[in-house]
Amino acid sequence: MTLPILSSERCNFIALTNHHLLDVLAIFSHPEVVKFNNYSLFKNLDDAQALIDMYQKRHDNEIGLRWGICLKNSEKLIGTIGFNTLNIDEFATIGYDLHFDYWNQGYMTEAIASVIKLGFDEYNLKSIMAEVQIGNIASEKVLLKNNFQFAGTQKIYKIWDNSHYEINNFVLNKF
């Protein structure tokens, strides 16, 4: 599966490579960025390499896609976005992260809209889902701006820190 070329008004979405290790480290070494996801605070380039390798493995196995988000005319990553799971002609789950310095500027709303359009138009998805940990109001707002609907709450067990979390589920259906 080839990573599609994707862009929006202010951003380009590019393949994540080892050239982005420092940018990935900068994104995920901020406590606010990792507060509501299953990554521990990144401490070194090995952490960044492991994340890029995980995304590449999901792509190679054709079960997920992840782009780096760059501002137009720049190759510096300000975030990542993609499908954590992708079942062509069926459904996907979306995931995203943004460098703290770029929060509340509309970049993620724009990025999600681009990925949604690609999912529905190119992959013939019927629905796109998102899981948001309770308390992550910013993530919920960006999904609602992109017409996702609240689909319920569930308590799940996350192995990464042996804790229980309540997750709000959101869904956007094509029809």
What is the rounded average pLDDT of the residues 117-130? 97
Amino acid residing at 32: E
Domains detected in the chain: 6-126 (3.40.630.30)
**Count of beta carbons in the 10 Å neighbourhood of residue 113:** 16
Query: Distance (Å, rounded) from C-alpha 82 to C-alpha 155?
Result: 24
pTM: 0.93
What was the pLDDT predicted at 38?
A: 77
Give the model confidence (pLDDT) of 31-56 as tens digits. Answer: 999 998 878 899 999 999 999 999 99
The burial class, CB within 10 Å (0-12 / 13-18 / 19+), for 38 is exposed
